[in-house]
Chains A and B, each alone.
Chain A
């Protein structure tokens, strides 16, 4: 038990220092009184440090375009669907990409973290081969599937921009 606690704290501290966006998320969750569950399964350990602390936009503000969503769906179908399912509900080895589980994993994190997770870890057998554009497109598709609205412009491939867009489940 003791070991669990100390390892957890060390790791959590390390993560929080590395990823300011996450730190914001933790503060936010903490304020709402929930356990820092999102942090425990944080995928953002690989995300580079955000250059600015300020989150300027949220996923409710139309951060991707319909055209991009189409490209993202096509990429999803050929790259992701065989494990995550054509309905995004997950499979034998793959987590759901819609609904409660998706939101549990990604709420209070940045869109940039999701893009970078996809880019660095997926597809899990041979990661690191997708282009930034493909990852932004797939992210647009995932945002749409989780009922975040489309807007007029594409989700940028620039992490400086996407790191400042917050994923939150409530408007």
Chain B
């Protein structure tokens, strides 16, 4: 004991020196994983090196943990990332979003918490769950923080899973209260991502039903709230749709602020404990593709908002999409990074987006790190609609995926396929980024409008990861397109003047108009041909509208782009794996090299001191058709070269995390697949 104590003053001195000088270290610290994104800035980085390029080939399953009997129905698409604190993993599991604590070394269940919410849970707007927040006072009071499917904030004692009696009412705060609506019905609002705790304040976002074809122009607003982590007392509300007298209300014409909703923040939030700020990626307002009921820029929808965590006061905001009618909302966790640009140290925040731009700001001031230029865009002709004349275009970094469609973007494995693709393309309206949605009348004999990135493509909730040592920023994206058409809904179904729909894209097939009927398992009502022409057991999903049931746009359909954030330049781009099986089996592609087309999926990226870990992806909800696969792989961080790959028991569905336990490095990843209930898989060296 004595020698150890003797070292303490020196250690303390060193720690103090560090705290006073260099900025707080980025990445998960002390072999733990205390935040959804590794640290509060979502770097998804851990400075661990036991698993390295030389030994990664020995990676094997250490333990498995199964969700099948959690919740009334099995969960297949588990987007969770566990937290690891003090040798215990904490996560949400199953369709009821139970909270579970598990031994990090063995996978043994230590405790679980289950809340039966009745109808409000049953009707949850979002079944996905991405995990929990954690807080400790450092003196023995440690808590895990859940947002339930039915939108209640629950705070549990991390030691035993019991609700904290002094928090809210018996550990629970009802998040549907205080939303400036007389009634909030079950199934209107919830959350899929965890809260974040900064300076002892729990900050919550919100998720609502997808807005493709809303039942009403009226909805509940997804306000951002701050709660005292000790008592549950509501400290502040940040109105993402401001009310009369508040700044920004002038961007909602004709009093549309009174009824417009959504504008939640469903992607994971970010925070900076040192600055005391939280960073909120606010989603689109009600009506993904028609804004005639909410004319104006619609602040603070589609903004990155920086709030003071203690007061909720807005420090700065930047609207990345004005008057959004593309569903190009912020959907990735803001990523905080300390970079050096032109010799100047900058505390930055980067927001990768569905539209394939990365918007980078000084996170203290909100000023763009590289100029973002308001650029004229095409204008809508839809009755009642009024497009913003310009949209903000970042000058750097370059987009990480295709933007807008020309013939050069079409599939070109063979001249025949290319010719067929050109004929299909001419059946649609298409054009540059921000081509506005169109009505049937405007489209004339076109069967729909194509947009690229599609609103389910580009970057999404997995967002990006960062290597803080090099400033390399790694973002995964999905390249896909599909038809869209605005139509007037039946009055008993929606009071919107127009709602979005598939635009007949799903029925359009082949150069001759109608293509092959899908084989068994490959057909869906209105789905036409799906899953790259379908196939036995193919997942039901969005159709591929290209020739022979292939994608219309050429690959890679899934990719990882590395950007050096000290310069803003792209360092490398690699395809995410090889082709999905259904593509490989397509007779039109016999003999063609498909090893570099990538899986059209939202894949997550974990970065350690030694390697970058990624996967084929889930191939489930919101993914490219048939896009996922079981492969889990390690890449070289500098080049993107695949160093190692292995097959998991099922597809990776959540962002992987890593930690040290008893001198052993583990990587834990949530898996599942269509019909394969979710499991956690822990990997380690033997």
Contacts and interface: CB of A to CB of B under 8 A. Distances in A.
B514 A87 contact: no
Interface residues of B, number: 62
29 contacts: A8-B515, A40-B507, A40-B515, A41-B525, A43-B524, A46-B520, A81-B209, A82-B209, A85-B210, A85-B212, A85-B213, A85-B215, A87-B214, A90-B212, A90-B213, A90-B502, A92-B210, A92-B455, A92-B622, A93-B621, A95-B502, A99-B490, A102-B526, A122-B540, A124-B621, A125-B77, A126-B73, A126-B75, A129-B73
Contacts of A4: 510-512, 515-516, 548
Closest 4 CB pairs of A and B: A95-B526, A89-B213, A105-B525, A87-B215
B213 A5 contact: no
Contact of A40 (B509, B542, B675): B509
B283 to A, nearest CB: 13
Interface stretch (B39-47, B123-131, B355-363, B370-378): B123-131
Contacts of B521: 45-46
Is the contact region of chain B dominated by helix, strand, or loop, or is it mixed? loop
Contacts of A125: 76-77, 620-621, 674
B523 A42 contact: yes
Interface string A153-166: 00000000000000
Given A46-B520, A124-B539, A96 B526 contact: yes
B517 A127 contact: no
B76 A43 contact: no
Nearest to B525: A105
A42 B490 contact: no
Contacts of B516: 4, 7-8, 11
A88 to B, nearest CB: 7
B523 A43 contact: yes
A148 B493 CA distance: 16
Interface string A38-58: 011111011000000000000
B541 interface: yes
B489 interface: yes
B510 to A, nearest CB: 5
Contacts of A41: 506-507, 517, 523-528
B514 A82 contact: no
A166 to B, nearest CB: 16
A3 interface: yes
B166 interface: no
Interface in B557-607: 587-588
Interface string B254-286: 000000000000000000000000000000000
B210 A5 contact: no
Nearest to A114: B525
A33 to B, nearest CB: 15
Contacts of A86: 187, 209, 215
B627 to A, nearest CB: 12
B74 A101 contact: no
A65 interface: no
Given A40-B515, A45-B523, A92-B622, 10 more contacts: A11-B519, A12-B517, A45-B518, A77-B187, A78-B122, A78-B123, A89-B493, A90-B213, A125-B77, A127-B675
